């Protein structure tokens, strides 16, 4: 599904990612943990193709295709979904309209007609019920005045609607109350299949009780310094990052 080879990336001349290697296969869930500023959000932005980052070396390959010259829009049409650590507000565009546009853009890129209104409504109903999202919420302006937790839940709703091949969730759990965490995690679990993959960025082991990862990676200073199974998250919770920092040969 996704291969990252010796990826180096900089922003404003400062190198942030310093040689990342990662392979995510279809059907897998990978968790990425690591201290503040270690490059987790940068890695997700680079995978999504955000233009403020310069890839100076290495490759991001999605389903065998090198994404170097592929725009962020095309990447999303190819099935990459990135949830933001800090979602943007779009006044005047309702959640529903935003979703309709996103879905139909994706269809257009695949040479398909717009989704018939009836099917769209059915899809919206199905997915919002799955994530226990209040109907009233769907007619509000995207993210405007949404509480932190509502923004995060709304992002999972977008993911549920778009059914991406590769979903990257950047701290989707932060700011969620216990119920919302469970609902969001259940949503992700329901959407998981043998054909898609998830990268979860999180600071908390707690999320990984709900969404059990196949692999856990620790990012430190722009490199993956340790990888393991789900037990690595528990070990980190117990020992903190100093343990890794001291162990890591940088």
Ligand X SMILES: Nc1ncnc2c1ncn2[C@@H]1O[C@H](COP(=O)(O)OP(=O)(O)OP(=O)(O)O)[C@@H](O)[C@H]1O
Binding site residues, ligand X, CB under 6 A? 11-12, 16, 34, 36-42, 52, 85
Q: Mapped to the 3 state alphabet, what secondary structure does 27-77 carry?
A: CCEEEEECCCCCCHHHHHHHHHCCCCCEEEEEEEEECCEECCCCCHHHHHH
- C-beta of residue 32 within 8 angstroms of C-beta of residue 7: no
Q: Write down the least CB distance from residue 32 to ligand X, Å.
A: 9
Strand partners, 134: none
Q: Which of 9, 28, 38, 41 binds Mg ion (CB under 5 A)?
A: 41
The footprint of Mg ion on residues 97-116 (CB under 5 A) is none
Closest CA to 178 of 138, 221, 149: 149
241, burial (CB in 10 Å: exposed 0-12, middle 13-18, buried 19+): middle
Give whichever of 85 and 94 is closer to ligand X, judged by the CB atom: 85
Give whichever of 52 and 134 is closer to ligand X, judged by the CB atom: 52
Rounded-to-integer distance, Cα 86 and Cα 26, Å: 27
Candidates 7-15, 39-47, 141-149, 185-193: pick the segment binding Mg ion (CB under 5 A).
Answer: 39-47
Q: Which does 76 bind (CB under 5 to 8 A by kind): Mg ion, ligand X, none?
A: none
Give whichever of 41 and 96 is closer to ligand X, judged by the CB atom: 41
Candidates 1-9, 62-70, 77-85, 180-188: pick the segment binding Mg ion (CB under 5 A).
Answer: 77-85
CA atoms within 13 A on the CB side of 126: 11
Q: Counting contacts by CB under 5 A, is residue 83 touching Mg ion?
A: no
Residues that bind Mg ion (CB under 5 A): 40-41, 85
């Amino acid at each position: 599904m996704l291969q990252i080879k010796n990826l180096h990336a900089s922003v404003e001349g400062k190198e942030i990612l310093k040689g990342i290697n990662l392979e995510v296969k279809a059907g897998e869930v990978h968790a990425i943990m690591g201290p503040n500023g270690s490059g987790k959000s940068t890695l997700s932005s680079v995978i999504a193709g955000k233009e403020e980052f310069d890839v100076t070396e290495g490759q991001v390959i999605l389903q065998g295709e090198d994404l170097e010259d592929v725009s962020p829009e095309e990447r999303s049409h190819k099935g990459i979904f990135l949830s933001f650590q800090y979602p943007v507000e779009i006044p005047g565009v309702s959640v529903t309209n935003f979703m309709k546009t996103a879905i139909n853009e994706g269809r257009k890129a695949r040479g398909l007609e717009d989704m018939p209104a009836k099917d769209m409504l059915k899809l919206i109903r199905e997915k919002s019920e799955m994530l226990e999202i209040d109907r009233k919420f769907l007619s509000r302006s995207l993210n405007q005045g949404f509480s932190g937790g509502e923004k995060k839940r709304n992002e999972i709703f977008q993911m549920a609607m778009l059914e991406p091949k590769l979903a990257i969730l950047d701290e989707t759990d932060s700011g969620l109350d216990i119920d919302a965490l469970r609902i969001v995690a259940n949503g992700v679990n329901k959407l998981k299949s043998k054909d898609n993959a998830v990268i979860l960025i999180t600071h908390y082991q707690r999320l990984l009780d709900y969404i059990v990862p196949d692999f856990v990676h620790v990012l430190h200073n722009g490199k993956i310094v340790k990888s393991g199974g789900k037990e690595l998250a528990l070990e980190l919770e117990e020992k903190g990052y100093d343990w890794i920092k001291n162990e890591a040969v940088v």
